[in-house]
């Protein structure tokens, strides 16, 4: 099982944003030097009063510190974007990273983002599907023509193309069953959310694999699972240290409506942090964390674990300690 880190690029309104950016550069070096395999960045727009550094330029800067790690988007909000621009930008990104790019894409869910881009949120699935088809073709073909409901191309070619051949992989973030089936059929892999309870995940993993098998597609690429994670001295102290940061982040998520499409018990009642984390996040001492990571590997079948170790407002000392501890004491036990 590979292990990557989701680097949160959202910061509070009072934080020094340049210092926060410098902290992300430092974290990238720490992650590189402590045995991790990848770095992932997300995307949002109009997050005020929170400050959210944008994905594409930030990923390009962090690539300079990443060494041999993969770099990925988790997730790029493709329905908000023009796929020609994305194809060109991320062909360049693949070159910058030395052919180590994974493009993770998702639907988006915030009404204000779609309104600001003058798009109908109801069109997001169609724009995602057409956008992915266009990306694949622009990265692998010349003289591309396309006639869709949302996009039209007439005999166009991008240059340069990505370094990876035939193209970088496109992974789909998905939470609802229909989205998971779409990921199975149109994506190279699925990125599962951190919000779904693990018991529900077992059912969804079976759905993903069955959908690929019935379509005659291989399951050898595995899938990724996002997990909020904090390593402390023991379970009790880890919960106490993590709650002010992970708890606040999930209050923001639910205020944005992120939990609306999560099947089963989505954890919308976030008043009890210990209950919110149970069978959803990994917060504990080293032995607790190893046990729950092995559950992801051996029971769920996760092949790419994406952990978030930094949260808005978390002191750099805590972030650094968690990155180093997980890298040195957990990763060797879960490979």
φ/ψ of residue 11, rounded to 5:
-135, 155
**What are the residues facing 307 on neighbouring strands?**
5, 227
Q: Which two tokens stand for residue 150?
A: 């949302």
User: What's the pLDDT tens digit per position in 184-227?
Assistant: 999 999 999 998 999 999 999 999 999 999 999 998 889 999 99
Across the range 11-21, mean pLDDT stands at 93
**What is the tens place of the pLDDT at every residue in 301-312?**
999 999 999 988
Tokens of 125: 């699935």
Q: Which tens digits make up the pLDDT trace of 130-175? A: 999 999 999 999 999 999 999 999 999 999 999 999 999 999 999 9
Backbone angles phi, psi at 53, to 5 degrees: -70, 140
Neighbour tally for 247: CB within 10 Å: 17
Q: What is the mean pLDDT of residues 237-242?
A: 94
C-alpha dist (Å) from residue 203 to 132, 216, 315: 26, 20, 37
Neighbouring residues of 58: CB distance < 8 A, sequence distance ≥ 6: 9, 21, 24, 41
Chain-centroid distance of CA 36 in Å reads 15
For residue 109, report the phi and psi dihedrals to the nearest 5 degrees.
Answer: -145, -5
E strands, 176-257, where?
189-192, 224-231
What's the first-to-final CA gap in the chain, in angstroms? 5
Position 12 scores a pLDDT of 86
Judge whether residue 256 has pLDDT over 70.
no
Cis omega (within 30 of 0) on the bond before 55? no
Averaged pLDDT, 68-88: 99
Average pLDDT, the chain: 94
User: Token pair of 89, please?
Assistant: 């930008």
H helices present in 198-330, as ranges: 198-214, 235-242, 248-256, 273-277, 286-295, 316-325
Residue 315 has pLDDT above 80, yes or no: yes
**% residues pLDDT > 90 (the chain):** 85
* Residue 250 confidence (pLDDT) above 60: yes
State residue 269's pLDDT score. Answer: 56
**Contact partners, residue 152, CB within 8 Å, separation at least 6:** 146
Kindly tell me if the per-residue pLDDT of 76 is higher than 80: yes
Q: How many CB atoms lie within 10 A of CB 186?
A: 15
Confidence of residue 270 (pLDDT cuts 50, 70, 90): low
- Helix runs in 34-151, H state only: 55-63, 83-96, 111-116, 124-140
Whole-number pLDDT of residue 271? 72
Residues 97-104, mean pLDDT to the nearest whole number: 99
* pLDDT for 243: 93
Q: How many CA atoms lie within 13 A of 90 on its CB side?
A: 29
State how many domains the chain has. Answer: 1
Task: Categorize the per-residue pLDDT at 251 as very low, low, confident or very high, splitting at 50, 70 and 90.
Answer: confident
- Domain limits for position 302: 2-334
Domain containing residue 318: CATH number = 3.20.20.30
Widest CA span of the chain, in angstroms? 61
CB half-sphere exposure, 53, CA atoms < 13 A:
25
- CB crowding 200-218: b at 16 or more within 10 Å, else e: bbeebbeebbebbeeeeee
List CB contacts of 118: < 8 A, sequence separation 6 or more. Answer: none
């Amino acid at each position: 099982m590979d292990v990557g880190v989701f680097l949160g690029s959202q910061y509070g309104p009072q934080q020094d944003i340049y210092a926060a950016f410098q902290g992300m550069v430092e974290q990238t070096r720490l992650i590189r030097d402590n045995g991790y395999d990848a770095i992932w960045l997300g995307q949002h727009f109009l997050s005020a009063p929170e400050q959210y550094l944008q994905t594409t330029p930030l990923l390009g800067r962090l690539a300079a510190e990443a060494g041999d790690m993969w770099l990925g988007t988790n997730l790029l909000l493709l329905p908000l974007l023009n796929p020609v621009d994305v194809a060109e930008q991320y062909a360049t990104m693949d070159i910058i990273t030395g052919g180590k790019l994974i493009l993770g894409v998702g639907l988006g869910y915030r009404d204000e983002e779609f309104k600001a881009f003058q798009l109908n949120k109801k069109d997001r699935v169609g724009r995602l599907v057409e956008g992915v088809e266009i990306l694949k073709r622009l990265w692998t073909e010349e003289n591309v023509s396309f006639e869709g409901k949302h996009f039209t191309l007439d005999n166009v070619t991008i240059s340069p193309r990505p370094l990876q051949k035939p193209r970088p992989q496109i992974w789909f973030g998905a939470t609802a069953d229909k989205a998971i089936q779409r990921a199975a059929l149109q994506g190279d892999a699925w990125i599962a959310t951190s919000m779904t309870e693990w018991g529900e995940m077992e059912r969804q993993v079976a759905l993903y694999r069955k959908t690929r098998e019935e379509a005659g597609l291989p399951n050898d690429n595995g899938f990724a699972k996002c997990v909020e994670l904090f390593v402390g001295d023991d379970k009790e102290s880890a919960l106490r240290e993590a709650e002010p940061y992970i708890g606040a982040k999930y209050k923001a998520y639910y205020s944005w409506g992120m939990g609306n499409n999560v099947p089963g018990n989505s954890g919308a009642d976030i008043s009890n942090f210990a209950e919110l984390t149970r069978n959803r996040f990994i917060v504990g001492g080293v032995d607790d964390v190893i046990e729950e990571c092995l559950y992801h590997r051996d029971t769920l079948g996760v092949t790419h674990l994406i952990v978030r170790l930094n949260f808005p407002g978390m002191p750099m000392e805590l972030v650094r300690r968690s990155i180093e501890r997980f890298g040195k004491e957990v990763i060797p036990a879960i490979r």
